[in-house]
Amino acid sequence: MEIKPNHPSLALTKIPPNHLNIMGYVDESEVNGPGCRAVVWVQGCPRECPSCFNPESWSFEINQLIAVDTLAENILKNPRNTGVTFSGGEPFWQASALASLAGKLKAAGLSVMSFTGFTLKQLQSKSAPPGSQELLAQLDILIDGPFVESLAIHSPNSPVSSSNQRVNVFNPALKDQITWASDQIEVHILKDGSRIVTGYQGSLELS
């Protein structure tokens, strides 16, 4: 396969081992998966879907580097986090580091969910980004497929944003907990006064 100069795998070489390049992180979200969850938005997505909710996440340039161990400690420090959700950006372009993070959090009893613009079939194929199988093996839930504007769903009862996306529940214990709605909004006021708005179809707004 020819690797183009702007291919994500080239940009990702700037990330030190056992680190993630993230767009943002929040604790105690109730609109990004079952229960009360930490949410990690990774930096970098090559898809450029029209009406993407987080276009600031497209660039693969370094935004915020964080060690996997540090992020795991931060998430586990808050006892209200019963799970973690990976969003983006495209989580599977940083699959190896996320698999390592997921392993540490699962060992502590948290559930792990991820969004992806890939389909599950693509992630299970040989052309999937490095580390995809390791990350898939850690997941309790995967919401797969890119956002397609013409198939958008605006419903208080839908956990997905467009009808092509699928909720894959790998952990049967969570089967009856697919109850969040993708068009809810949540505002987090941080200790330093800054604000994070999230929830609307996976969006992240920092101010």
Question: Which residue ranges make up the site for ligand SF4 (CB under 6 A)?
Answer: 45, 47-49, 52, 54, 57, 88-90, 117, 146-147
Which residue number, 72 or 116, has a Cβ lying nearer to ligand SF4? 116
If the CB atoms of residues 83 and 88 are measured against ligand SF4, the closer one turns out to be 88
- In the complex with ligand SF4, the residue whose CB is nearer, 76 or 153, is 153
Nearer to ligand SF4, 58 or 180 (CB): 58
Angle at 39 between CA 188 and CA 47, to 5 degrees: 115
- Rounded to a whole number of angstroms, the minimum distance from the CB of residue 189 to ligand SF4 is 25
**Of 100, 95, 73, 90, nearest to 202 (Cα)?**
90
CB of 200 to ligand SF4, least distance (A): 12
Provide the minimum distance between the beta carbon of 160 and ligand SF4 in the complex, in angstroms, as a whole number: 12
Cα dihedral 31, 34, 40, 43 in deg (nearest 10): -70
Q: Which is nearer to ligand SF4, 47 or 175 (CB)?
A: 47
CB of 142 to ligand SF4, least distance (A): 14
Between CA 172 and CA 175 the distance in angstroms is 5
CA dist., res. 50 & res. 188, Å (int): 27
Give min distance, CB of 38 to ligand SF4, in A.
19
Shortest CB 165 distance to ligand SF4, Å? 10
Q: Which amino acid is at 132?
A: S
Q: Are 76 and 105 in contact (CB under 8 A)?
A: yes
- Helix then strand then coil, in percent of the chain rounded to 5, is 30, 25, 45
Q: How many CB atoms lie within 10 A of CB 55?
A: 11
Closer residue to ligand SF4 in complex, CB, 69/149:
149
- CA pair distance 186, 55, nearest whole angstrom: 19
CA-CA distance, 185 to 202, in Å (whole number)?
9
